[in-house]
Structure 1
Amino acid sequence: MKKGYVFVYGTLMDGFWNYEKHLKPHVIGKWEAWVSGTLYHLREGYPALLEGDNPVYGNLVQCRQFDKAIAILDRLEGYHGPGHTNLYERITKAVFLHDGEVFEAFTYVYSPARLHEVEKFGILIPSGSWREYIEERKAVK
């Protein structure tokens, strides 16, 4: 895995609040990309990526000062390390660019220990795009 890459699919994408506040100062490159999974919108107002076979769209982000950036993201995503009770788990996933290039990058997936919350309260996003889901919700209001 090339160090310095993370895949984001929710509030950490360009144009959303956590990108501007936490990630943008560290970004040296970003690309439209996708991973395999299943995407849900949670009642708390952010998405949850679960394992699955559908495309989930977001951004592959390359960061400078990666260790500092990933520490910020770990805190934001409620990741305290392996063996802890985490909100999200930080794993390595294959990330696909639209030109066919494949990267390995850190990705935050919703903790399997919290699957019952997603099943009970989550809204499946069939398109795999949280950005599209949020834009459609704004259009309805």
Structure 2
Amino acid sequence: MIRVFVYGTLLQGESNHGIVAPYLLSVRPGVVRGALYDAGAYPAMVLSGEVSSAPLVEGEWLVVEPEGLRRMDELEEYYGPGADNDYERVWIRDALREEREGWVYVWRHSRGCPPLSCGSWRNYLRGREAGGEKH
């Protein structure tokens, strides 16, 4: 049983959820401290640490079988510690439920991508699709 926090295209109902769905054991809502960035078709998150004033990122805690983690590693181009990874996989705790902890895929910095003005990829997409202000 492996717990992973997801915040973008791996969320239920989003474009890459089917990659992990066959290996999914449970889903719970969650939030972590960080900032989201628009990388085009997907978001990236940069962690803010444990500072209580840091912004919150909404997402889901997925509990998956080991093959589910391997499939997510492939999608996120995570090859292991010290490798030339696109995303790093790091251990994190939920900002509101400290007993909930697990892996998350993050960038170390924004790579020049624009920040989202909210902590929810879904809300941001709705605003973008409506042609309105990016929430």
Shorter-chain TM-score bucket reads 0.7 to 0.9
Of the three residues 6, 9, 21, the one matched with 1:8 is 6
**In 2: Cα distance, 1:77 partner to 1:101 partner:** 25
**Contact kept in structure 1, 2:26 and 2:62, CA below 8 Å:** yes
Q: Where is the strand percentage greater, Structure 1 or Structure 2?
A: 1
Deviation at 1:119, TM superposition (A): 4.5
Unaligned runs of at least 5 residues, structure 1: none
1:25 aligned onto 2:22: yes
Deviation at 1:108, TM superposition (A): 0.4
Q: Give percent identity, aligned residues only.
A: 33
1:50 aligned onto 2:46: yes
Is the alpha carbon distance of 1:50 and 1:105 closer, same or farther for their aligned partners in structure 2, counting shifts above 3 Å? same
**In 1: Cα distance, 2:22 partner to 2:98 partner:** 25
Unaligned runs of at least 5 residues, structure 2: 49-53
Corresponding residue SS for 1:62? strand
Of the three residues 90, 114, 127, the one matched with 1:123 is 114
1:139 aligned onto 2:130: yes
In structure 2, the partner of 1:95 is: 94
TM-score scaled to structure 1, two decimals? Answer: 0.83
TM-score scaled to structure 2, two decimals? Answer: 0.86
Deviation at 1:123, TM superposition (A): 1.8
Deviation at 1:96, TM superposition (A): 4.1
**Contact kept in structure 2, 1:39 and 1:125, CA below 8 Å:** yes
Corresponding residue SS for 2:88? strand
Is the alpha carbon distance of 1:128 and 1:12 closer, same or farther for their aligned partners in structure 2, counting shifts above 3 Å? same
Question: Aligned pairs, how many?
Answer: 127
Q: Map 1:107-122; keep pairs closer than 5 Å.
A: 107-110=104-107, 112=108, 115=109, 118-120=110-112, 122=113
Q: Where is the helix percentage greater, Structure 1 or Structure 2?
A: 1
Is the alpha carbon distance of 1:125 and 1:135 closer, same or farther for their aligned partners in structure 2, counting shifts above 3 Å? same
Greater than 2 Å deviation, 4+ residue runs: none
**In 2: Cα distance, 1:29 partner to 1:123 partner:** 32
Q: Map 1:73-88; keep pairs closer than 5 Å.
A: 73-88=72-87
